[in-house]
Amino acid sequence: MSELLWQALQQVQGYVYPNEIEVNWSILIVFYPYITGLVAGAFIVASLERVFKVEAVKPTYRLALLTALAFLLAAPLPLVAHLGHPERALEIMFTPHLSSAMAGFGFVYAWYLLIVLLLEIGYDYRKDVVKWARTKRGLKGFLYRLLTMGDYDISKEALKKDEKLVGIITVIGLPSAAFLHGYVGFIFGSVKANPWWSSPLMPIIFLFSAMVSGIALVLLIYMASTKLRGKKLDMKCTDTLAGYLLYTYVLDLSLEFMEIAHLVYVQEEGIDAILTLINDRLFLSFIVIQIFLGTIVPIFLLVMAKTGLFRATIRKIFYIFAALLAMIGVLAMRWNVVIGGQMLSKSFRGFSTYILPIFGIEGLLTAVAIFILPFVLLFIFVKVLPPWEEPPIWESTEHQAVEGNGEG
Amino acid sequence: MRKIHVRVAMVYIVIAIIFLIVRSFIVPPSFGEYGWYRGDSVSEIMNLSVKHAGSYSCSNCHQTEYKAWTTGKHSTVNCESCHGPLKYHVDDPGGSKVEVNATREFCGLCHNENPSRPEGFPQINLESHGNGFTCVTCHNPHYPWFD
């Protein structure tokens, strides 16, 4: 008997089936929907500017796209690390079956990465990449020349067509992002035997919480990167993003409330066990962290910021805390769904306990390392494809040249 | 059509071709012959040698133990659960020897204290029970007794 199973066995409460003693979907499976959600949320921020023409958030458009790409590349890693035979991971895509929800996720993921994100970033950056390819030397220059794919046409017509194409991709990308993350909720919502998971609302709740965490992440990265670059924060952009965070949050909270209200109202088999799960086993992670610290407090902070009573410096602090708490709250939501659902025995008469190891492939450190990876990727992407609003060097040179000619 | 579109399309076509080539190497040729699995596995499994003979085959020679076993508390535990697969022994009773694991730990697999077992199920603490003697010193595994 493994040490972990023995420890879990000592903490079994009531009656559980033997295969429920150990919680097999570990912290890695908590991070899988969390990271995927951040991708969907970040992409939705990008689409605010493109599709919904929210000009105020333009400074975050490219940053949000690169964030989505960095997190998307890391999204399958928790799943692959969780597999006993990670080398077989691709087999679900080689021989996909309609009964396999995970195989479906593989194709949704591939579609989103290859058709939506890479194409949108590629066409959006094309003008800059061509210019960088012409001016940069060495390895970076080679990379830019590779990215141009040999097409250096940046005439007005070509750029206009690129712009139109990016618009079309974003319109396709928006439902794709919703599908990508809704699908993760669908995987849990389809487990009929588990009343804590089985709900048609699950994909919608996952999607809205993904939007919350994604907007919060982009907001934090935007504020941190502006500070690190020593630039002035665009308060209109920050306020608008925070506003969207608030609206999404309110919707997310009402959906969560509807889900719980529905569970309690219909009083289906297992409701007593669910109430014990919420009030006892998940009290800290659900009531305290997810609902109070992760939802009510940030909503309160965002509403306070919206009142107009506070000046920009104070609002910035509110936003930082609200965004951080939102990210913690959504992580807690994933934890409560994934771990909570496995603690609840199918007998509805007992609970098992999840023991979180620090080391090992299923341990806390692996999960943290996987979560840090997208930030490292984002740092590299930002270095290669700077997403900042200020005009690149050649544009300012052109600008100066035009000004110089005017004076002459 | 613009050069960039053609090149991007070519990259994607190359990715798709690589995917199909890798797939052709990884997916076994007999996959899907009968269902969503490798068809050859059926004939491979059918050709595996039989290892278990079943409890009834023991009754031909070991009548005393068999009779005790069928009326005792262990009657739901197959002979081969403790003695291991016995087809080789049934085929050649004189030329083969049956080994049995008589260690305390082996009995402990079922009878060591475990909170997830039903309360009425005989469970002991391997550390303190029986002064370290093997279980069969006191208990007859074919017709076990206990308090």
- Dump pLDDT digits (tens) for B91-142: 999 988 888 889 999 999 999 998 778 888 999 999 999 999 999 999 999 9
3 state SS of B112: strand
Q: Does B14 touch chain A (CB under 8 A)?
A: no
The residue whose two tokens read 């390819």 is A133
CB within 8 Å: B3 and A126? no
Distance from CA of B24 to the nearest CA of A (A): 9
Taking alpha carbons only, the member of A16, A34, A18, A20 closest to residue A354 is A20
CA distance B73 to A294: 56
Boundaries of every domain in chain B? 3-46, 55-137
Please give the pLDDT value at position B91.
94
Residues of A in contact with B28 (CB under 8 A): none
CA distance A407 to A405: 5
The residue whose two tokens read 């496995």 is A342
CA distance A350 to A248: 35
Mean pLDDT of A281-300: 96
Please give the pLDDT value at position A48.
87
CB within 8 Å: A10 and B115? yes
Q: How do residues A65-91 score in pLDDT, each as one tens digit?
A: 999 999 999 999 999 999 989 999 999
Instruction: Write the single-letter amino acid at B123.
Output: Q
Facing B116 at nearest CB: one of A12, A97, A158? A12
Task: With beta carbons less than 8 A apart as the criterion, state whether A389 and A59 touch.
Answer: yes
A205 compared with A5, residue with greater pLDDT: A205
Please give the pLDDT value at position A390.
65
Mean pLDDT of B72-84: 93
CB within 8 Å: B11 and A153? no
CA distance A68 to A78: 17
Please give the pLDDT value at position B109.
92
CB pairs under 8 A between A and B: 42
Q: How do residues A203-242 score in pLDDT, each as one tens digit?
A: 999 999 999 999 999 999 999 999 999 999 999 999 999 9
Q: How confident is the model at residue B42 (pLDDT cuts 50, 70, 90)?
A: very high
Asked if the model's pLDDT at residue B78 lies above 80, the reply is: yes
CA distance A295 to A30: 19
Mean pLDDT of A147-156: 94
State chain B's mean pLDDT as an integer.
92
Asked if the model's pLDDT at residue A284 lies above 90, the reply is: yes
The residue whose two tokens read 């076993």 is B69
Q: What phi and psi, each to the nearest 5 degrees, are found at residue A2?
A: -70, 155
Mean pLDDT of A271-282: 94
CA distance A71 to A203: 20
Q: Which stretches does DSSP call E strand in B33-93? A: none
A278 compared with B146, residue with greater pLDDT: A278
Chain B residue closest in CA terms to A161: B2
Looking at the DSSP bridge assignments, the partners of residue A344 are A351
CA distance A135 to A268: 67
Residue B128: count of CB within 10 angstroms of its CB:
8
Distance from CA of A90 to the nearest CA of B (A): 9
Mean pLDDT of A114-130: 95
Instruction: Write the single-letter amino acid at B86.
Output: L
Facing B2 at nearest CB: one of A94, A95, A158? A158
The residue whose two tokens read 């929800």 is A101
Mean pLDDT of A36-55: 90
Q: How do residues A179-200 score in pLDDT, each as one tens digit?
A: 888 888 998 998 888 899 998 8
Q: Spell out the residues 6+ positions from residue A106 whose beta carbon is closer than 8 angstroms to its own.
A: A92, A93, A96
Task: With beta carbons less than 8 A apart as the criterion, state whether B10 and B1 touch.
Answer: no
Please give the pLDDT value at position A393.
54
Task: With beta carbons less than 8 A apart as the criterion, state whether A240 and A67 touch.
Answer: no
Task: With beta carbons less than 8 A apart as the criterion, state whether A119 and A69 touch.
Answer: no
Assigned token pair, A344 = 């609840």
Task: With beta carbons less than 8 A apart as the criterion, state whether A299 and A250 touch.
Answer: yes
Assigned token pair, A347 = 């007998």
Q: How do residues A369-397 score in pLDDT, each as one tens digit?
A: 999 999 999 999 999 999 986 655 555 55
3 state SS of B125: coil
Per-residue 3-state assignment (H helix, E strand, C coil) for chain A = CCHHHHHHHHCCEECCCHHHCCCCCCHHHHHHHHHHHHHHHHHHHHHHHHCCCCHHHHHHHHHHHHHHHHHHHHCCHHHHHHCCCHHHCCHHHHCCCCCCHHHHHHHHHHHHHHHHHHHHHHHHCHHHHHHHHHHCCHHHHHHHHHHHCCCCCCCHHHHHHHHHHHHHHHHHHHHHHHHHHHHHHHHHHCCCCCCCCCCCCHHHHHHHHHHHHHHHHHHHHHHHHHHHCCCCCCHHHHHHHHHHHHHHHHHHHHHHHHHHHHHHHHCCCCHHHHHHHHHHHCHHHHHHHHHHHHHHHHHHHHHHHHCCCCCHHHHHHHHHHHHHHHHHHHHHHHHHHHHHHHHECCCCCEECCCCCCCCCCCCHHHHHHHHHHHHHHHHHHHHHCCCCCCCCHHHHHHHHHHHHHHHC
Give ipTM to 2 decimals. 0.82
CA A56 to chain CA mean position, Å: 22
Please give the pLDDT value at position A86.
93
Q: How do residues B48-68 score in pLDDT, each as one tens digit?
A: 999 999 999 999 999 999 999
Q: Does B36 touch chain A (CB under 8 A)?
A: yes
CA distance B13 to A193: 42
CA distance A62 to A60: 6
Boundaries of every domain in chain A? 13-394
Q: Does B25 touch chain A (CB under 8 A)?
A: no
The residue whose two tokens read 């909270």 is A253
State chain A's mean pLDDT as an integer.
91
Taking alpha carbons only, the member of A259, A352, A297, A249 closest to residue A24 is A352
Mutate to test the interface with B, among A16, A151, A163, A345 (most CBs of B within 10 A): A151
Please give the pLDDT value at position A396.
56
3 state SS of B31: strand
* Least reliable range by pLDDT among A279-288, A361-370, A389-398: A389-398
**End-to-end CA distance of chain A, in Å?**
86
Asked if the model's pLDDT at residue A293 lies above 90, the reply is: yes
Please give the pLDDT value at position A403.
47
Please give the pLDDT value at position A340.
95
